[in-house]
Amino acid sequence: MGGGAKTVYLETMGCQMNVLDSELVLGQLRALGYEPTPKMTTADVVLINTCSVRDHAEQKVLSRLGALKKPKQKKPEMVIGVIGCMAERDPDGIFDKMPHVDLVCGPGELNKVPALIDEVRGRRTRAIALAQSLSRKSTPLQRALEFDSVEALDLARTPGPDQNVLQSYIRVQRGCDKFCTFCVVPFTRGPERSRPAAQIVAEAHMLADRGAREITLLGQTVNSYVQQENGRTVRFAELLERVGAVSGIERLRFVTSYPGDFTDDILYAMRDIPQVCEYLHIPAQSGSDPVLKRMRRQYSVSQYVELIDHARQIVPGIAIASDFIVGFCGETEEDHQRTMELIERCRFKNIFVFKYSPRPGTVADKRDADDVPEQVKRRRNLELLKLQERISQPANQALVGSTVEVLIEGFSKAALKAQEAEQSRGEEVGWRRSDQLVGRTRSDQIVVFSGEQKHIGALADVRIVDATALTLHGELIRMRDFAPASRAPRDRSLPILGAA
Ligand code: SAH
Ligand code: F3S
């Protein structure tokens, strides 16, 4: 097997849940002595954490895997693994199309990745771990046992010393029970299960101790979080309160909310708990009742609008983001117009628009024809985005002249690109005093401004001087703090940002 540390290349596609899963898998492998590498073609272990939500995402996975054929011929001991939703959805398809794949592992089994890698290494056989055993028909005891085994992954979380935990995710819920007719998630991630509140709070403490200032709670329908604790019921609003109270956590977010279960206590929590940001991601999917019905979304357009109005009344300054699917089965021009009206009415901060992609096994795929032509989907997609741009542009423009609180995340994309170019020309990047930084407001607006490397990780006041539909441009007015000094991580092995 050769000496020296094994290297692992891990690529993540898809949602925030996958980003967190990847972090946890990598943490597990690091603890076993693996070293992460950015070089896919020469790594000892290559893992692709996959997404199945649209066909396009799966095609991307296949092309990535295709690119590994030659490297694997050159280095036959390389272990190639497909993990996440596509592994769960179509393991046979993956092995058929990509015979050089060694292991597949579903999102509910990721604690087994190290064992699967060893199995491949030791016996040069394929290794498979899927949660198909965790069926909705399994007994409560079976479910509990399965839950514990995958729960171990989150429980064992220990961020590495070079890991940036400033903004961290915490899983509060696995799976989904909604079965929207277009969606593959309930099939790939299994039934909805909430994690124990005490464990979530303990994780927040651990992350805060290592320097986290912003936490995002993750769940497919995060607002329906519910858990029994010592004979009483803990709901989402209480969870927000308990995580918000963790010392060091200054910003608390949560995604994704499901409109059907959204109760007022959560809105009051957003208003009253200072750490909870005024930001809500709450997908509408369509502005037409017949379409919502075929999607089995369990709310009507007027209920959705009422909820948005109500949220704006209770939570001052709340920013709302939404998702829409265009070209769902049977969507008429009339339905599409209703969606345009809903967007016009709700004045979202931003929207994510997806062209409907039939997913094998879902109700919509079995029951309805995918009858909206591709070019119509494309046009409707553009129309929604154009409309949103017409809403976002003046809304952002109105912020010019105001001062906002920004958590500074790092160098802007442009600054990073310039730094890379300098490096590739062999110039010393060095300790540049000033550069373009990027941060976010509490309402999740992206702000770009000039600052210094040592400011990264800090909170600052930034005055907005210019705005596009997607980005605000500003100038630094005042630092609220310097991250490294005031929030020095307890663990001295952690690098201190900006220390030179
Ligand atoms: N509640 C989940 C939803 C997961 S899918 C969450 O955490 O966001 C994310 C978004 O993808 C959905 O809101 C929906 O707008 C879109 N989507 C899901 N299935 C789709 C499909 N078959 N075709 C196109 N878009 C889809
Ligand atoms: Fe998918 Fe609907 Fe659940 S979009 S994740 S089935 S709430």
Are 404 and 469 in contact, with CB atoms under 8 Å apart? no
CA 185 to the chain's CA centroid: 14
How far does residue 77's CA lie from ligand 2's centre (Å)?
A: 39
- Mutating to test ligand 1, I would choose from 217, 254, 296, 323 the residue with most ligand atoms within 8 A of its C-beta, which is 323
Q: Is 458 helix (H, G, I), strand (E, B) or coil?
A: coil
Residue nearest to atom 7 of ligand 1 (CA): 220
Could you say which DSSP state residue 252 is in? E
Question: Is the minimum distance from the CB of 438 to ligand 2 under 6 angstroms?
Answer: no
Looking only at the bridges linking them, the beta strands covering 232-235 and 45-50 are: unpaired
For 130-194, give the DSSP string: -GGGS-TTS-HHHHHHHHHHHHHHHHT----TT---SEEEEE-EE------TT--HHHHS-S-EE
Give the residue among 221, 354, 328 at the shortest CA–CA distance from 282.
Answer: 221
Question: Is the minimum distance from the CB of 176 to ligand 2 under 6 angstroms?
Answer: yes
pLDDT attached to residue 498:
31
**Nearest 5°: CA angle at 404, between 402 and 410?**
135
Question: Is the minimum distance from the CB of 179 to ligand 2 under 6 angstroms?
Answer: yes
Annotate 295-305 with b (16+ C-beta within 10 A) or e (fewer): bebebebebbb
How far does residue 12's CA lie from ligand 1's centre (Å)?
A: 17
CATH class entry, domain 162-392: alpha beta
H/E stretch holding 471 reads strand 471-479
Place of tokens 């939570």: 315
Question: Is the minimum distance from the CB of 220 to ligand 2 under 6 angstroms?
Answer: yes
Question: Is the minimum distance from the CB of 285 to ligand 2 under 6 angstroms?
Answer: no
What contacts 370, CB < 8 A, 6 or more positions away? 329, 356, 358
**Among the bound ligands, the one closest to the CA of 327:** 1
Per the DSSP assignment, residues forming a β-bridge with 352 are 323
Report the alpha-carbon distance of residue 407 to residue 440 in Å, rounded: 6
Identify residue 337 by its one-letter amino acid code.
Q
Identify residue 319 by its one-letter amino acid code.
A
Architecture of domain 403-479: Beta Barrel (2.40)
**CA distances (Å), origin 285, targets 65, 289, 295, 355, 365:** 32, 11, 9, 11, 17
Architecture of domain 7-129: 3-Layer(aba) Sandwich (3.40)
Question: Is the minimum distance from the CB of 180 to ligand 2 under 6 angstroms?
Answer: yes
Could you say which DSSP state residue 336 is in? H
364 CA closest ligand 1 atom index:
22
Question: Is the minimum distance from the CB of 185 to ligand 2 under 6 angstroms?
Answer: yes
pLDDT attached to residue 208:
96
Tokens of 159: 């961020």
Tokens of 447: 């702000």
**Among the bound ligands, the one closest to the CA of 257:** 1
Biggest CA–CA distance in the chain, Å, is: 65
Are 296 and 253 in contact, with CB atoms under 8 Å apart? no
Question: Is the minimum distance from the CB of 258 to ligand 2 under 6 angstroms?
Answer: yes
How far does residue 425's CA lie from ligand 2's centre (Å)?
A: 47
Sequence ranges of the domains in the chain = 7-129, 162-392, 403-479
Neighbours of 486 (CB within 10 A): 11
Report the alpha-carbon distance of residue 280 to residue 267 in Å, rounded: 10
pLDDT attached to residue 152:
85
For the chain (length 500 residues), average pLDDT per consecutive 10? 80 97 96 95 97 97 97 96 97 96 96 96 88 62 66 89 92 96 96 95 96 97 96 98 97 98 96 98 98 98 98 97 98 98 98 98 97 98 98 97 96 88 74 80 97 93 97 95 48 31
Residue nearest to atom 6 of ligand 1 (CA): 220
- How far apart are the two ends of the chain, measured CA to CA in Å? 40
**Among the bound ligands, the one closest to the CA of 377:** 1
Tokens of 171: 């899983």
Query: In terms of pTM, does the model score above 0.85?
Result: yes
- In angstroms, what is the C-alpha Rg of the chain? 23
Looking only at the bridges linking them, the beta strands covering 127-129 and 446-451 are: unpaired
